[in-house]
Amino acid sequence: MIDILEYNTEREHLIIPEYGRHMQKMITHAKTRETKEERNKLVKAIISVMGNMQPHLRDVPDFQHKLWDQLFIMADFDIDVDSPYPKPSREELYARPDTLEYPQNFPKYRFYGNNIKTMIDVANTWEDGEMKEALVYTIANHMKKCFLNWNKDTVEDYIIFNHLFELSDGKINLKESEEDLSDSTSLMRSKKKYTNTNTNTKKTHYKKSNSNTNQSRSRKRY
């Protein structure tokens, strides 16, 4: 009796374990049939059983195509049957995917971020006028705010103008501009105000929850 037992290490390798060993044996048996007509008959029955094992995928487009591909894969691409779909190839299945091209951005002033460079490139495509001028000063003020977030101190406008001139490849020049950017304190104050608002909201919510808890505890039970 012990001599008849089979261990998994001695059995044939399961190519797609989700279908189990019996399905693998059915496909192996179909490969041994001599006539193509008999193989086609067995393969259609196997495809039907494979579909019944995954009823939740019956309405998925190309589900039958997927089953036929899996059958050829489990047959190790070595079965001569008539398939309603193109037969997959071993090279196509085991081909390595193309290497993804990740954007390599190494900005000189990292504290501005990559979005600033994108905004500057967009501004360079605009025609000169009030709209472009407003966009340029908006970008400059945002650069100043980013600089303050990184430096936590103060910064002169001419530094922002020089950086903007450099990042725009000399196309945006505000060095001789008489208009000043937003004050450093006002830029930082807006951030602090937003932070305090969130903190106060959390405190108010905490107080309300505590008051509701205290009221429920103080109720008399009859």
Residue 105 sits in the same domain as residue 181: yes
Q: By residue range, what is the domain housing residue 121?
A: 99-186
Report if residue 4 sits inside a domain. Answer: no
Indicate whether 222 belongs to any domain. no
pLDDT at 5: 72
Of 73, 93, 113, the position where a domain reaches its end is: 93
Cβ(147)–Cβ(160) below 8 Å: yes
pLDDT of 102 reads 72
Buried b / exposed e along 168-188 (16+ C-beta atoms within 10 A): beeebebeeeeeebeebeebb
In a domain, 46, yes or no: yes
Domain contains 1: no
0.85 surpassed by pTM: no
Domains contained in the chain, number: 2
Roughly how many angstroms between the first and final C-alpha of the chain, as a whole number? 74
Q: Is residue 206 part of a domain?
A: no
Cα separation, 218 vs 212, in Å, equals 10
Residues 112 and 84 placed together within one structural domain of the fold: no
Residue 218 maps to a domain? no
Same domain, 106 and 165: yes
CA proximity to 123, closest of 169, 177, 176: 169
Are 82 and 105 part of one and the same domain?
no
Distance CA 136, CA 117 (A): 12
Task: Name the token pair of 143.
Answer: 């650069």
pLDDT tens for the chain, 222 residues: list them: 566 677 777 777 888 888 888 899 999 999 989 899 999 999 999 999 998 888 887 778 888 899 999 999 999 898 999 999 998 888 888 888 888 877 666 677 888 888 888 899 899 899 888 999 999 999 999 998 888 888 777 788 888 899 999 888 888 888 888 888 888 777 776 555 545 555 555 555 555 555 555 544 444 443
pLDDT at 44: 93
In a domain, 154, yes or no: yes
Nearest to 51 by CA among 92, 85, 23: 23
